Amino acid sequence: MLEAANINKSFDGTQVLNNISLEVDTGKILCIVGPSGAGKTTLLRIITGLEKADTGQFKIDGKAFDPESNTTNEAMIGVVFQDFRLFPHLNVLENITLAPQLALHQSKAEANAKAKEILTQLGLEDKADIYPFQLSGGQKQRVAIARALALNPKILCYDEPTSALDPGLRESVAQLIERLKAQGMTQIVVTHDMEFAQNIADKILTVKPNREA
């Protein structure tokens, strides 16, 4: 379970996030919605430690943690970026196994076995040896999900998981997220697609644009 309270964030004197609080129960899906520029991505970047909040308290399973120095495996939060950000010089398998070897000190064999398992689960078992530029958008996204899952995160976050894909793939992303939920994964999904959110969410948080300058 993730709890975040009183998150404030300004850029150059302009307040973007005004006292936001949120809560996600273990194994549930929280969708963060709101118009463009409201601060959804910023909120997600704060939760994942890529941006520092001006104020805010964070707890995972009741224990306080600092997303910016999120180093213990207990507090691990995985991210699937809107533009995936796969490593272009590494093949699919290497993309997935690099971090488990370097950050979790898994052996290569151990990391490979786990990665193959995840790839199979995501229907990518025949893609292990090819490079990101050879993948379709939907496949890239699944590799990005596999890469995040390989670190055994407690929570998985997505920024606009449907925006870079064909509308036809929307349903399959929803199914994938549901499937991970069935396995007990806690997930936070940023989207401006209200219908998509209502489809998958256990809870919806609306971020409103802040008009004060």
Ligand X SMILES: Nc1ncnc2c1ncn2[C@@H]1O[C@H](COP(=O)(O)OP(=O)(O)OP(=O)(O)O)[C@@H](O)[C@H]1O
Report the interface residues with ligand X, using CB under 6 A: 11, 16, 34, 36-42, 192
Token pair, residue 93, equals: 């398998």
d(CA 33, CA 160): 10
**Sign of the alpha-carbon torsion through 161, 140, 80, 84:** negative
Select the binding partner of residue 192 from Mg ion, ligand X, other proteins, none (C-beta < 5 to 8 A, by kind): ligand X
Q: How far is the CB of 152 from other proteins (least distance, A)?
A: 11
Nearer to other proteins, 86 or 189 (CB): 86
Q: How far is the CB of 13 from other proteins (least distance, A)?
A: 22
Do the bridges between strand 155-159 and strand 186-190 make them parallel or antiparallel, or are there none, so unpaired?
parallel
Task: Work out whether 41 is an interface residue with Mg ion (CB under 5 A).
Answer: yes
176 touches 144 (CB < 8 A): no
Do the bridges between strand 29-33 and strand 186-190 make them parallel or antiparallel, or are there none, so unpaired?
parallel
Residue type, 55: T
Select the binding partner of residue 38 from other proteins, ligand X, Mg ion, none (C-beta < 5 to 8 A, by kind): ligand X
Q: How far is the CB of 144 from other proteins (least distance, A)?
A: 9
CA 192 to chain centre: 15
Q: How far is the CB of 33 from Mg ion (least distance, A)?
A: 11
d(CA 9, CA 13): 9
Nearer to other proteins, 48 or 186 (CB): 48
Nearer to Mg ion, 41 or 187 (CB): 41
Select the binding partner of residue 141 from other proteins, Mg ion, ligand X, none (C-beta < 5 to 8 A, by kind): none
Phi and psi, residue 185, nearest 5°: -75, 135
The residues of the shown chain that bind Mg ion, judged by CB under 5 A, are 41
